[in-house]
Structure formats: C-alpha cells, structure tokens
Amino acid sequence: MLDIDRPPVLPHVEPHRKPLTILQSVRAAQRNVLEIIPAIAYQQPIVTGRMGGARWHMVQDPTALRRIFLDSAANYPKSEVMLRMLRPAVGNSLFTSEGADWRWQRRAVAPVFAQRNVAALAPVMTATAERASQRLSAAGPDAEMVGEMLTATFDVICEVALSGREHFDASAYGAAIIRYFETAGKASLLDFLRVPSWFPRPGELLGLGAVRTMHDMVAKAIAARRQQASGKADDLLDFMLTAKDAETGRSMSAQDVLHNMQFFIVAGHETTALALSWALQLLALSPDIQETAHAEARDVLGNQPATLAHLDAMPLSRRILEESMRLYPPVGMLAREVLASDELAGRAIAANDVIFLPLYALHRHALLWEDPNAFNPDRFLPEQVKGRDRYAYLPFGAGPRVCVGANFAMMQAHIVLSTLLARFRFEPGSRPLPTPTMLMTVRPDTGVNLRVTARKEQGSA
C-alpha cells in the first residue's frame, strides 16, 4: 500500500452552483465542456434541467449507465450534436455509425486489436519508449510532456495503422487536429437551440482547412498502399482494404477507408498521449508515489526499456495510469438521444430528451469514490476493483461499443510510462498548473510543463 501524506491540490475545474442560461451554457461549452457540469452532478445520481424547450438529464448512476451502454443501448443512440461535430473529420466511420453499419465495420477492424495481434506490436511500443527517452534526455531540464507524448504515440499508431509514417508530417497533422477541435469540434448556439444539423455552423466552415490537411495525408498513405503489389502488411489499413461483411458481402468504399483510418489515427494516439501526460503531471505533484513507482520500474527494467514480458511485474505503473484516467478521462462527456420513454435512476425519461454522460463527474462522484479529488493509485488494487461497480469507471466506455483499442492503448501507455519512470525524475515546472479543458478530449490547457532530470544509471557511482 502507498503512503500518501497531505495530498496536493490537483488541476481541476470548479463547478458552477447556479443554473446556467442558454448563452452562458454556449460560452462554457465553447470554452471548456467540463464547465457545464454543475456541482450537484458530483453529488447526485441524476440531474435534470431544461434549456430552450429541451429537457436534459446528466446521469452519474452506475445502474442507469449500464442500461444506457448495455441493456437498452439501442434506445440511446449517440447525440446528433456530437455526431455533427465529428462527421466532417471521420464521416460515417466506426465511431459515428449505428446499427448494421456499425456492426460490420466493428467486425472488420476487431482482428487488428485481438490480443495476439496487440501482443505482437509490443516491440514497436518498446522502440517508441526508447526514442521518447532519448528525446527527453536531449530536450534539457524543462519539457512540455503533451507534445512529447503525442510524438511517441503517433509513431506507434502509424506503425499499427500504416506500417510506417512516411506520408505524415506529425507536427502539421497534430496542429490540424487542434485546429479542428477549436472550430468544427465546438458546440454552437444553434446546437443548443436544436437547429437541424444540415444547417451550417460557422465552426464547420472554419475547420475545413484542418480537415483537408488531415485527409490529404491519410489519402496519400492509402493510395500508396493500393499501388503495392503484395498488400500483405497485415496492418489496420490492409484489414480495411480487404474486409468484407460476411452477411452481405459488402466491402469498404474508398471514403469508408479514409474516414475509418482518420478516426483510428486521431483517437489511437491522442487519448493515449493525454493519459501519459496527465499521469506524469500527477506524479510530479506526488513525489512519494513517484519514488515508489520508480523503484518498482528500476528493479524490473534496470537500464532497459520495458517490454511486454516486464509489464506484469510493474502493477503500480498500470494503477497510476488507471487512476490518472479516473481523474482525467480521455473523453470527459458523452451525449445520447432518447428514442422511447424509459426510467433511469428512478426518474422518468421521455422520448427526445437529451442524456449527458459526464464521465468526468462520474469518476469524481462523492457517492462512488472516497476522497474523489485525490490521486490514489491504490483504488485500483485488485480487491478494490472487485468491490466496485463496473459502471463507476468508464475511461473506454462500456457495452458493445466499448473502445476496440483499449488493450492496445493500455499496453502502449504502460510500456512508455514504466520506461520513463525507471530513467527520469519528474518535478513541477515553473509555470502554473494547467486546467483540464475539454473540447473533444480532456487536455491540459497550457500543456504539462515539467522539470525532467535523468536519474543515475543502476550500478553507477
């Protein structure tokens, strides 16, 4: 068990305690989606309100969440507002499709993320961890970790998706992602007023250049692969190019392939990089936990980067990642439509109501977590996990649409984090702590700026 004294004040969002007007809600959603979560949502299983004639509910009850994600999932499709913000970039891909469209795409990509295939990718992740260490060593004492981790995870996802990144300019692609999040990926007043999604939003027009930048790079990679004689790289792109629906014989169109590749490249490196960055920020603020994790990693790894064979011997590093994603889930808010009337957490839900799923509040809920705003990796000891409702912790979603790449993401993050912990000490930098800010993902608004010091090699004087 960890010895945790005087836990530090962690980066957080101060929730509002009075109802927001439509205009205040729009401004909050455009600035930081987490700001629309009221204080009461951290205390109650469900919160209900009305805005512009629309009734909404924020659901933080695990039993109700199981119904939404699993038992009655067909009654709660993804919100049209959320889909509108994503479709320009990822079209009708695995993430945005529903019903039969979704099922066959899921079948097409699932083999890539089967455990045996993920395990085979571990050497790529180990090589990435080594390169990340070398970059940190060369960067000097002050480093911005979000950028460093994005570079590391981009390497891995390109290898998995495309067997290489020769068609990608990582900095240009990353800048396009941020530009998209800040334009088309933001809620509009028209969304709150329930103006139909076919009516253009200003952000969509401003985000066209970012979409074009991302799509051009992905399209070039796909075109190059189509020209290859063998087509036997056995990566995500090969699976998509050759996938056929066993029931209908349908294969992916050129646009289907483009949109799904775009989704996996963005989601596959952005969320893992953020989990690593938040973990390092938390460890910098919790030196006792960091020292324990360092000792574990150094004892197992010595001076070598982590491999798949090492991971079971470093459980604390994994618990740190899990606790980091509790405090800062990669996606802090989801939204669902309601097709037919129902009951959730003892409350009547009507057709056409809007359901908000504030995972950020769920993971910090006073009824579900002791001292919920503290960083304590021991929450994820096996006996603690066994006694907790599965639907109290949802960093990768749940039910049939649980993230297909969850095992891949955790393995990658575990290999990188444990390698870095064995070799470096992380301390707070000179800048103020960041604020968790969600547009599409929960990012630190000013980055994670840390002082990074190389530790002496094992056995050296």
Say what the pTM is.
Answer: 0.93
- Tell me the average pLDDT across 340-367: 97
The mean pLDDT value of the chain amounts to: 90
Burial 282-291 (b: 16+ CB within 10 A, else e): bbbbbeebbe
Asked whether the CA dihedral 155, 438, 146, 368 is positive or negative, the reply is: negative
Give the pLDDT of residue 193. 66
Q: What pLDDT shows up at residue 434?
A: 97
6's CB contacts (< 8 A; 6+ apart) are none
Q: Which residue has the higher pLDDT, 221 or 36?
A: 36
Residue 229 has pLDDT above 70, yes or no: no
Residues 106, 411: contact at Cβ < 8 Å? no
Lowest mean pLDDT among 5-9, 321-325, 385-389: 5-9
The pLDDT > 70 percentage for the chain reads 95
pLDDT in tens, 127-157: 999 999 999 999 879 999 999 999 999 988 8
Decide if pLDDT at 233 tops 90.
no
Burial of 456 (0-12, 13-18, 19+ CB in 10 A): exposed
Task: Indicate whether 231 pLDDT > 60.
Answer: no
Question: Which pLDDT band holds residue 258 (cuts at 50, 70, 90)?
Answer: very high
Going by pLDDT thresholds of 50, 70 and 90, the confidence category of residue 33 is very high
pLDDT tens readout for residues 366-376 = 999 999 999 99
What local confidence, expressed as pLDDT, does residue 234 receive?
A: 67
For the cut 80, the answer to whether the pLDDT of residue 230 exceeds it is no
pLDDT band at 461 (very low <50, low <70, confident <90, very high): very low
Distance CA 50, CA 340 (A): 18
pLDDT at 440 over 50: yes
Residues making up the chain, counted from first to last: 461
Spell out the residues 6+ positions from residue 291 whose beta carbon is closer than 8 angstroms to its own.
none
Say which range, 55-69, 151-165, 279-293, has the weakest mean pLDDT.
Answer: 151-165
> 13-17, 113-117, 304-308, 405-409 — which is least confidently predicted?
113-117
* Better-scored residue on pLDDT, 189 or 69: 69
User: HEC string of the chain?
Assistant: CCCCCCCCCCCCCCCECCCCCHHHHHHHHHHCHHHHCEHHHHCCCEEEEEECCEEEEEECCHHHHHHHHHHCHHHCCECHHHHHHHHHHHCCCCCCCCHHHHHHHHHHHHHHHCHHHHHHCHHHHHHHHHHHHHHHHHHCCEEEHHHHHHHHHHHHHHHHHHCCCCCCCHHHHHHHHHHHHHCCCCCCHHHHCCCCCCCCCHHHHHCHHHHHHHHHHHHHHHHHHHCCCCCCCCCHHHHHHHCECCCCCCECCHHHHHHHHHHHHHHHHHHHHHHHHHHHHHHHHCHHHHHHHHHHHHHHHCCCCCCHHHHHHCHHHHHHHHHHHHHCCCCCCEEEECCCCEEECCEEECCCCEEEECHHHHCCCCCCCCCCCCCCHHHHCHHHHHCCCHHHCCCCCCHHHCCCCHHHHHHHHHHHHHHHHHHEEEEECCCCCCCEEECCCEEECCCCEEEEEECCCCCCC
pLDDT number for residue 291: 98
Q: pLDDT per residue over 185-223, tens digit each?
A: 887 767 766 777 777 788 888 899 999 999 999 998 888
- % residues pLDDT > 90 (the chain): 62
Q: How many CB atoms lie within 10 A of CB 418?
A: 29
Taking the alpha carbons of 209, 145, 166, 271 in that order, is the dihedral positive or negative? negative
Average pLDDT over residues 397-426: 95
Which residues lie across from 56 on neighbouring strands? 49, 354
Write the CB contacts of 333 (distance below 8 Å, at least 6 apart in sequence).
33, 34, 36, 37, 356, 357, 358, 359, 360, 438
Q: Is pLDDT at 6 greater than 60 in this prediction?
A: no
- Beta strands 424-428 and 334-337, pairing class: unpaired
